[in-house]
Chains A and B, each alone.
Chain A
Amino acid sequence: MLELKNISYHVDDENGKDILNHIDLKIEDRFTAITGPNGGGKSTLAKMIAGIIQPTEGRIFFEGQDITKLSITERANLGISFAFQQPVRFKGITVLDLIRLAAGDKLSVEGACKYLSEVGLCARDYINREVNGSLSGGELKRIEIATVIARGMKLSVFDEPEAGIDLWSFQNLIKVFEKMHDKTQGNIVIISHQERILDIADKIVVIANGEIQDIGAKDEILPGLLSGNLECKHNAGGCIHG
């Protein structure tokens, strides 16, 4: 279980912007979806959980332990995984290398292929490819998700996993999350704008202007989002807050 207590993030530039403002949040459900308008602070919050960004105020607890001062590596080793919104590219590191690093053991080629198959990639075609610009955005995104599956941790945070998976179905992505939960029995946090992803959440958190605007069970929150309580500029294709 993850708990954020009074988390703030203030940027000290000339405009002096508050990205996050006194956030209190407990993550204890199977699936927690975080949604809200772009620029509202969702990704900052996700990066803060992984340790990529340090809060300017507040504390973070993971399974009762204060992890506020812990590094990215220490948090990863405690059981936190993070899937990047924009997957990182590497020259020379292959898909197999990356999945092996994620799995943290001497994973067989067959084992790595299994993870790739789970995200809908024909493993044989990808296993020896470099994780570089020769792969499409959608392929990189799925490999990114595969690295998080391979880790199988207690807490997995996905930053907009749906972006670029248009050739693959949402249904499959949702199956990935469900299967992952069955295996790890951990908590999954998904930052998303997609109605179909929000629909599987147990809890939905709406973040706007650096604050929690709404929080509650899916059945309480989703109808309000769909009826347009929050302004949506591009609501075609199931996008709730574009």
Chain B
Amino acid sequence: MDEIQKTLLMQVADLHEVPAGAYNIRSNGESAGRHSTEHIEIVPKEDKPGIDIYIKSGTQRESVHIPVLMTQTGLKELVYNDFHIGENCDITIIAGCGIHNSGSQASEHSGIHSFFVGKNSRVKYVEKHYGSGEGTGERVMNPETIVNLDENSYMEMDTVQIRGVDSTDRVTRAKLAKNAQLIIKEKLMTHGKQKATTHFYVDLDGEDSSTNVISRSVAKEHSEQTFYSHINGNNKCAGHSECDAIIMDNAVVRAIPEITANSIDASLIHEAAIGKIAGEQLIKLMTLGLTEAQAEEQIVNGFLK
């Protein structure tokens, strides 16, 4: 692995070396390393690009890393990764995609991640997107996440896209069974002429299922963001979505919430706020000795922390 790839790996997976536990590193469309463990088996798909990850019932406190790195300009790929998680598991899955494009052609990674989470299992899914490179070619990522949560299962999904991705269109679809819970935390910052669109579709099918979809974003310069969230309450359930955005310069931010109650016992809430950095916040930090630019940076970093 070269230095650029190592940097990407650090940005998307906080990894300096090959990780402990199960992993699959995909680099420029090919496998750059794969390791299964006693409880976690990673098998390449035969009919299409991608892998199946089988996590045995009862697997506790183990992790899977599946970073994707792209440094070759003009590469376009569509990858299917399916996670089959047994019952009574407690695992952390770290995915992420880093594109370094120093050429003039667009590099594009689209990953379709499907999660089948068994009864009573807990999953933490972390996904980071990062782009770098001086080339004029666009860095494009279009992730799709499909989540099926069985009874009493829990999933927390943290997605972060802070730098360098020119265009992203994220779709997340989730179905929740009885007592299942899904927490989604999205953090997004766009700059330049970047465009980012996010769609969340959550079906609260089971009794006492619940979800909390939280998006915090900062749109700078001429970038554009659109946030769609659709929560369907199909049973006695609780759903909450929250979109909170800081808008700067000439950016555009849209928040389009949709909450649908198909059951009289569904309790659904949506909150959305878009606004610039409050002047008094800048002033307070300036009275502590920060310049206006430093104050702005602190406010943005805190907001996305």
Q: Bound pair: A and B?
A: yes
A residues contacting B by CB (< 8 A) are 50, 52, 71-73, 76-77, 81-82, 84, 87-88, 90-94, 97, 101-102, 104, 147, 151
A50–B280 CA distance with the chains assembled, in angstroms: 13
Instruction: Establish whether residues A72 and B287, one from each chain, have CB atoms under 8 Å apart when the complex forms.
Output: yes
Closest B residue by C-beta to A150: B288
Contact of B288 among A52, A71, A90, A104 (CB under 8 A): A104
Binary flags per residue of B294-305, CB closer than 8 Å to A gives 1, else 0: 000011011111
Instruction: Establish whether residues A92 and B281, one from each chain, have CB atoms under 8 Å apart when the complex forms.
Output: no
Instruction: Establish whether residues B283 and A76, one from each chain, have CB atoms under 8 Å apart when the complex forms.
Output: no
Instruction: Establish whether residues B289 and A91, one from each chain, have CB atoms under 8 Å apart when the complex forms.
Output: no
B284 at the interface (CB under 8 A from A): yes
Please, which residues of chain B bring their CB within 8 A of the CB of A90?
281, 299, 302
Provide 6 A-B residue pairs closer than 8 Å at the C-beta atoms, listed in order of the A residue.
A50-B287, A71-B286, A92-B301, A92-B303, A93-B302, A97-B302
Instruction: Establish whether residues A73 and B302, one from each chain, have CB atoms under 8 Å apart when the complex forms.
Output: no
Instruction: Establish whether residues A91 and B302, one from each chain, have CB atoms under 8 Å apart when the complex forms.
Output: yes
Closest A residue by C-beta to B291: A73
Instruction: Establish whether residues B244 and A101, one from each chain, have CB atoms under 8 Å apart when the complex forms.
Output: no
Distance in angstroms from B231 CB to nearest chain A CB is 23
Q: With A73-B292, A88-B281, A91-B244 given, is the CB distance from A82 to B287 under 8 Å?
A: yes
Question: By DSSP majority rule, is chain B's interface helix, strand, loop, or mixed?
Answer: helix
B residues contacting A by CB (< 8 A) are 216, 244, 278, 280-281, 283-292, 298-299, 301-305
Task: Other than A73-B286, A93-B298, give 6 A-B pairs with Cβ distance below 8 A.
Answer: A76-B286, A88-B281, A91-B244, A93-B299, A93-B302, A97-B302
Distance in angstroms from A56 CB to nearest chain B CB is 19
Distance in angstroms from B195 CB to nearest chain A CB is 24
Instruction: Establish whether residues A52 and B303, one from each chain, have CB atoms under 8 Å apart when the complex forms.
Output: no
Please, which residues of chain A bring their CB within 8 A of the CB of B287?
50, 52, 72, 76, 81-82
Contact of A104 among B289, B302, B303, B305 (CB under 8 A): B289
Please, which residues of chain A bring their CB within 8 A of the CB of B292?
73
Instruction: Establish whether residues B280 and A88, one from each chain, have CB atoms under 8 Å apart when the complex forms.
Output: yes
Contact of A88 among B284, B301, B304 (CB under 8 A): B284
Instruction: Establish whether residues A76 and B302, one from each chain, have CB atoms under 8 Å apart when the complex forms.
Output: no
Closest A residue by C-beta to B281: A88
Instruction: Establish whether residues A92 and B305, one from each chain, have CB atoms under 8 Å apart when the complex forms.
Output: yes
Distance in angstroms from A222 CB to nearest chain B CB is 30
Distance in angstroms from B278 CB to nearest chain A CB is 7
Instruction: Establish whether residues B278 and A88, one from each chain, have CB atoms under 8 Å apart when the complex forms.
Output: yes
Instruction: Establish whether residues A92 and B290, one from each chain, have CB atoms under 8 Å apart when the complex forms.
Output: no
Please, which residues of chain A bring their CB within 8 A of the CB of B288?
76, 101-102, 104, 147, 151
Distance in angstroms from B275 CB to nearest chain A CB is 11
Please, which residues of chain B bring their CB within 8 A of the CB of A94?
302
The 4 nearest A-B residue pairs measured at CB: A92-B302, A93-B302, A72-B286, A88-B284
Please, which residues of chain A bring their CB within 8 A of the CB of B305?
92
Please, which residues of chain A bring their CB within 8 A of the CB of B304?
92
Contact of A101 among B278, B290, B291 (CB under 8 A): B290
Distance in angstroms from B113 CB to nearest chain A CB is 28
Please, which residues of chain B bring their CB within 8 A of the CB of A151?
288-289
Instruction: Establish whether residues A73 and B284, one from each chain, have CB atoms under 8 Å apart when the complex forms.
Output: no
A97–B285 CA distance with the chains assembled, in angstroms: 11
Please, which residues of chain A bring their CB within 8 A of the CB of B283?
52, 72, 88
Instruction: Establish whether residues A76 and B289, one from each chain, have CB atoms under 8 Å apart when the complex forms.
Output: yes
Please, which residues of chain B bring their CB within 8 A of the CB of A77?
289
Please, which residues of chain A bring their CB within 8 A of the CB of B284?
84, 87-88
Please, which residues of chain A bring their CB within 8 A of the CB of B303?
91-92
Closest A residue by C-beta to B283: A52
Instruction: Establish whether residues A73 and B280, one from each chain, have CB atoms under 8 Å apart when the complex forms.
Output: no
